[in-house]
Structure 1
Amino acid sequence: MDKLLNDGAVIGITGVTGKLGSYVAKIVAENGKKAVHLARTPGKAKVYDSAEIRKMSYANTDETIESLKGIDILLMVSAGENPNRVEEHKGFLDAAKAAGVKHIVYTSFYGASDDATFTLSRDHAKTEAYIKELGFNYTILRDNFYQDFFRDIALENGEIRGPARNGKVSAVARKDTSAVAAKILLEPEKWENITLNLTGPKELSMADIVKILSDKTGRKFNYVEENIEEAYESRKKWPAEAWQYDAWVSTYTAVAAGEQAGISNDIERVLGRKPISLKDNI
């Protein structure tokens, strides 16, 4: 740990080869803070003079425990979607506890609950509960669906399709969620044992989203309303397991059910500015 000369808590960041984690790592480095960057494949991680890169996995192994030693506050970016994600999370949290990590900052999901319509939201609810069960200090970041997700689907396919009906989603910019996570790591004592809801500045229907995209780009994008059966059928062109189809379709049924609506001011509380709008994220 002699490479880490932080004043105060030692920062650990998982997911540094992914979109969210890499942006957090960049912000922390730009703020002059040293950190431990954790990755399954360290060779893919961007090298910073201020960071020590360590190999880890989402499992309770000796290697993972060793990689987490000396870290006080840890950004835990949720593991890749898979049927065993909750077990992976629990194993990793057990390792963090054994290593002496004190504070977990976890990227959860807006409205996480055991009976949420969006199937993957249930994984987050179980993970949140386990973080608290183990007695960590925590900051839960409940990100809504990303604006970037809907934007990129439309840009790639010329349309968004699904059974969202006229439901609305307060979709958030990924950069905002990363900026919040970085701010928490830099000022952890201000945000201990709190859950933050991270949303965009407006509730948008799928029709609203494609209109904003059309107006901003000059291209014509459409929203195609599907029923549930049509939604499963249209997604069969992408080979996947049943749980993945359930997740894809329930993205839209969760919006239809009103579970992804609502505006939070938590991004403004943390960052001191309004969240990025979809219009400004294209």
Structure 2
Amino acid sequence: MVKIAITGVTGHLGGIVSKLCKKNGIEVRNLARNVEKAKKLGFSNVFKSTYDKSEDTVKSLEGIDVLFMVSGSENPNRVQQHKDFIDAAKMAKVSHVIYLSFYNASKNSVFTLGRDHYATEEYIKENGFKYTFLRDNFYADFFVDMCREYGEIKGPAGNGKVSVVVRSDVSEVVAKILENPEKWENQTLNMTGPEELTMNEIVKIVSEHFGKEIKYTNETVKEAYESRKIWKAEQWEYDSWVSTYTAIAQGEQSGISCDIEKVLGRRATSLSEYLKNL
């Protein structure tokens, strides 16, 4: 029997994947930085594990065949933390890493955090693991939350298009792959929604759903950096926030994949369908 471990169970996506696996009768080992928090959230078989290569982390991965790895929390040292964790997986003799990556990740991604994902993918391959890379586009959930919280979307996306994906679709894909990981070895799957949308189209759909006007302000790059100064942050954070939109403007987030349908046997959820189910 294949032994599976899941990271990030106290976070949104990792937690959903773990619960789906339990519902589907797949036994998993839950990995968490904070074991008590994970247990309070209702997870069992929890092991202490951090994105490092400490003794605890190596021990948490011993006996595991397949590791589902969500990316670590955003910080300037994230790539090194990922590499340390991958080193720990190698020490523990994990054979297959399923990594939640990013759509069109490359060393030159306009979206700055896409470069972190590319570096992580490369390190997994360099270390001889069997791999499955799930390349998420931006989440529809993210843009809807922004509309609800601020009543607008601001950013230098121009008329660029993005094939937003619903987070729960990605969770279902991971859980389905964990039913038979061997089938998906050494593949890269693109996680997109079924349509490409501009920011103006997104706010129009969300406005119609909530019955109130939500605007899109197409900022210049300079205006975008300036408007985000209301939040105290480091330069790399400002860069990632603004490049979310410049990546869309430059076409890196456009394109539609059928990989969700290939795994789940149904079409990916559209933004309108997502809103209906809120």
Q: Same fold (TM over 0.5)?
A: yes
- The correspondence for 1:182, drawn from 171, 175, 195, is 175
Task: Compute the TM-score of the two structures, normalised by the length of structure 1.
Answer: 0.96
Matches within 5 A, 1:109-128: 109-128=102-121
Matches within 5 A, 1:194-213: 194-213=187-206
Counterpart in 1 of 2:122? 129
Aligned structure 1 segments of 4 or more residues deviating by more than 2 angstroms:
none
Matches within 5 A, 1:143-154: 143-154=136-147
SS in 2 for 1:37: strand
- Percent identity over the alignment is 58
SS in 2 for 1:168: coil
Matches within 5 A, 1:35-54: 35-45=28-38, 46-48=41-43, 51-54=44-47
Counterpart in 2 of 1:221? 214
- The correspondence for 2:17, drawn from 24, 49, 53, is 24
**Structure 1, residues 100-146: CA drift from partner, whole Å, max 9, x if none?**
11110000000000001000000000000000000001100000000
SS in 2 for 1:16: coil
- The correspondence for 2:86, drawn from 93, 98, 101, is 93
Shift of 1:194: 0.2
Shift of 1:152: 0.5
2:66 is equivalent to residue 79 of structure 1: no
Q: What letter corresponds to residue 219 of structure 1 in structure 2?
A: K
Give the Cα separation in 2 of the matches to 1:214 and 1:66: 50
Q: What letter corresponds to residue 42 of structure 2 in structure 1?
A: V
Task: Compute the TM-score of the two structures, normalised by the length of structure 2.
Answer: 0.97
**Structure 1, residues 181-223: CA drift from partner, whole Å, max 9, x if none?**
1111111011000000000010000000000001111111000
CA RMSD for the aligned pairs?
0.7
2:249 is equivalent to residue 276 of structure 1: no
**Structure 1, residues 69-91: CA drift from partner, whole Å, max 9, x if none?**
11110100000111000000000
**5+ long unaligned stretches in structure 2:** none
**5+ long unaligned stretches in structure 1:** 1-7
2:7 is equivalent to residue 14 of structure 1: yes
Give the Cα separation in 2 of the matches to 1:148 and 1:233: 25
Shift of 1:47: 2.6
SS in 1 for 2:5: strand
Q: What letter corresponds to residue 126 of structure 1 in structure 2?
A: A
Q: What letter corresponds to residue 204 of structure 1 in structure 2?
A: L
Counterpart in 2 of 1:4? none
